[in-house]
Amino acid sequence: MLIARLIAEPDHLSTKLEAAKAQMARAGVRIADAAMLDFCGRTMQIDSPDDDAAAMRAAIDAHFSPSDGLITTDEPVVPRVFISDMDSTMIGQECIDELGDFAGLKDRIAAITERAMQGELDFAEALRERVGLLDGLSTGAIDECLTSRIKPMPGAKVLVETLKQLGCRTILVTGGFHHFADPVGEMLGFDHVVGNRLEVAGGKLTGGLAGDIVDSAVKKATLLAEITAAEERWGEGITSLATGDGANDIPMLEAATYGIAYRAKPKARNAANGWIDRGDLTDVLRLLGVNEKDWVR
């Protein structure tokens, strides 16, 4: 069985549904029901007794794009574990690119960042190369960057605080740096933060990293460890949610019950069973079926 939750332009939901259903039928995906959710008027639910999620998603993309959606095999529920990427997911910036601007190297660093996010470069090598370019930059630039440039994504705090209120543990895990992730995590309300550490000496960056690198494998391992801990408390079969936007997030998006790609690069979007292309992060709550009266604002 498949359940698709879908948020799109209202006129698209009413005028394009039949065409989408016809495309699904040609691909062998039967539709048992398609209706707006009573408790979330912006969200349509489409039920199918079949299991071809790729065909269902292809029809949704063809007829409703841009949209926000989630395709699962069971009725979505509030997760017990939420893990999220930071840069370009919970905040609207790539921190290392902004630091690069202070060093006069933003274009050069941003080009490497983009290729790494697209999955064209090895993440660890790309990270070391970019951090190396920051050698000699004052740590004061980090403080100024945090204050003047780093802003949360719309809906980020509502998403985190609402999930926490509903009993979900929240973890911010980033291939970026604790210098940014710790204050961002505190600002948004995350329970725990995992990230890389910039090496500092004499008030300046050395161009190196302190400790092991947080890469895609660490992100996935962090999720799995949190799931195990939650199962020890709540029992087996707990649900999990992951959000991210780049190739480095793919393993955790695939491992989560609900992997939602936020304004993501193509490889990450294709790997996830959920996507946000249209709205803000509060649409994650709508896709999960959390009534707006229960949101923490």
List residues with catalytic annotation. Answer: 85, 87
Which among 297, 294, 245, 288 has a CA at the least distance from the CA of 45? 288
Separation of alpha carbons 176 and 296, rounded Å: 27
| Cα separation, 244 vs 242, whole angstroms | 7
Q: What backbone phi and psi angles, to 5 degrees, belong to 121? A: -125, 150
3-state secondary structure 91-125: ECCCHHHHHHHHCCCHHHHHHHHHHHHCCCCCHHH
What gap in Å lies between CA 219 and CA 207, rounded to an integer?
23
State residue 63 phi and psi, 5-degree precision.
-115, -20
> If we measure between CA atoms, which residue out of 275, 282, 267 comes closest to residue 115?
267
